[in-house]
Amino acid sequence: MVPYLAKRIGRSILTLFIIVTLVFCLLRLMPVEGYFANYEKMTEAQIQAGLQSMGLLDPLPVQIGHFWRDALHGDLGVSHIYKLNAPVTKILAQKLPISIEMGVLAMLLSLIFGIPLGLLMGRCKGRWPDKLGTAVIVLIQAVPAAVYFLYIQMYGTTAMGVGLLFDAANWHYWVLPVCSMSLANLAFYAMWLRRYMVDESNKDYVKLARAKGVSESGIALHHIFRNAMVPLVQYIPSAFLNTVVGSIYIESLYSIPGMGGLLVTCVQRHDNTMVQGIVLLYACVGIIGLILGDVLMVLLDPRIHFGRKEGGR
């Protein structure tokens, strides 16, 4: 497992380098307005002097080298538009806690309801719990998320008596965004757990357990469910980390001062340095999630060996 992790980490570092470097190069094609808060009032000489002081007139390979050198020392530059001359790392540190807290709550909610729903659907294949659960999953996945997010906000705010501006000190304001963020993962876990359980229920070890007289509940919980969770569990860390860094649409919809709304604001205001730092954070989160998913799958099922070429059991 150690050689496999070493290879995965090496490939992940290379992937991260390519993604962030590509974004860095694309941002350099953007107008230079994103580096000046008062661009309209500046003369051409002042603009060129500002670009020179920021190193933006250096050759692109030199700029990339300086960026990665500073990034490895924890310096992602400063914001030029969103918060003038404020370090990007300091802004991200202020925004992350609320997104982490909301993401953790949303992930727990999706696991608490999604896993039991998938288990119930898998055990009651073809019966009304399965049909009802399928209808709920189809509704969540078929209808554009923006549509039911708006309906949840429209009727939920009235029902709960909350305003449109988020108030972190009042727990009532957390209910609607957390529930909205959990819906996609809830449907995902329920759908795939049901599918994996149906696949596992037709295998020989299940038939052997029935022939030995093991109860249906024992087979479902100790045999089918355990094996069905193995392929599903690799997606949990990635989904968890992506939820933690914030939902772009939901945080903007509820005016939540987290990571999701920050990305939208920085893109709209052309704060290139902030966009660069946020992309680096999101890329790191996605890559770490994939690695943790593989490790979690191995820990759950020791029969899986990544060192073998077939990667199977």
For residue 244, CA distances in Å to 100, 178, 253 come to 5, 11, 17
Amino acid 71: pLDDT: 87
Cβ atoms < 10 Å from Cβ of 144: 8
Amino acid 310: pLDDT: 46
pTM comes to: 0.76
Amino acid 245: pLDDT: 58
Name residue 87's beta-bridge partners: 78
Q: Give 240-282 pLDDT, tens digit per residue.
A: 766 665 577 788 788 888 887 787 788 877 788 888 888 888 8
Domain boundaries, the chain: 96-269
Distance from C-alpha of 95 to C-alpha of 273, rounded to nearest angstrom: 16
Distance from C-alpha of 193 to C-alpha of 221, rounded to nearest angstrom: 12
Amino acid 210: pLDDT: 80
Cα 125 from chain centroid? 31
CATH numeric code, 96-269: 1.10.3720.10
Q: Give 127-161 pLDDT, tens digit per residue.
A: 888 899 999 999 888 888 888 888 888 888 888 88
**Residue ranges, the chain, pLDDT below 50:** 310-313
Amino acid 302: pLDDT: 64
